[in-house]
Amino acid sequence: MLEILIVLVLVGILAGLASLGWSAIQWKLQAKGGAEELRNALMLARNDAMTRQRHSGVLLDPARNRYLRFVDSSAVGAPDGRYSTGEKILQEWSKLPSHFVVFDTRSSMAPDPVPRYCESPAGTTPPTRQTGTYSVVFRPDGSSWATLQMKMGVTTSPVDTFRLGVLPAAGLVMLER
């Protein structure tokens, strides 16, 4: 009876260790899926720009783990390489996995100040500025307005990361481990 009890305790300990390892593997797979989802959104924006001959982009919000796709055209009709309120949205905010995190973002353009309107009954409240979002806009020839480099991964493992990059001259979107 004592031997069976010892075997059951050892099996329980091994099962507990295996479940911790399994959740870490699941989080890494979710992070890889999130990185591929961002890459696909950027490639889709580039393809949209080239096929429809318009400036198309992706607005990245790393702090909130989300992104949206849009058509870049200001009120005057001239693209400016950034997302502005009132531009046509092709895909509403898409959420990335919960354990996915962006550790570092570098762009040749400064972060975009995105207006976020406060709820007010009179509607007279001016917009408050929300910083930390990045626009990546592609021209009709496939090139991008700016470079982008993002280092991303899992919240619990900052060593195991992915790098997403956009090269402006060719508009090439790269994802590497």
Report the percentage of the chain scoring pLDDT > 90: 33
154 within a domain of the structure (yes/no) = yes
Average pLDDT, integer, range 15-39? 80
Highest mean pLDDT among 28-32, 113-117, 148-152: 148-152
152 within a domain of the structure (yes/no) = yes
What is the structure's pLDDT at 112?
54
65 within a domain of the structure (yes/no) = yes
Question: pTM for this structure?
Answer: 0.76
15 within a domain of the structure (yes/no) = no
What is the structure's pLDDT at 33?
85
Question: Which is more confident, 65 or 74?
Answer: 65
35 within a domain of the structure (yes/no) = yes
2 within a domain of the structure (yes/no) = no
Question: Which is more confident, 102 or 157?
Answer: 102
What is the structure's pLDDT at 42?
95
pLDDT range class, residue 119, cuts 50, 70, 90: very low
* H, E, C per residue of 90-122: EEEEEECCCCEEEEEEEECCCCEEEEECCCCCC
What is the domain-level CATH number for residue 89?
3.55.40.10
Residue 141: domain span: 27-116+124-176
* CA pair distance 33, 119, nearest whole angstrom: 35
105 within a domain of the structure (yes/no) = yes
* CA pair distance 6, 16, nearest whole angstrom: 15
Q: Is the pLDDT of residue 95 over 70?
A: yes
Among residues 80, 110, 94, the alpha carbon closest in space to that of 41 is found at 94
Q: Is the pLDDT of residue 153 over 60?
A: yes
Q: Across all residues in the chain, what is the average pLDDT?
A: 80
What is the tally of structural domains in the chain?
Answer: 1
For 100-112, the pLDDT digits (tens) are 888 888 888 766 5
74 within a domain of the structure (yes/no) = yes
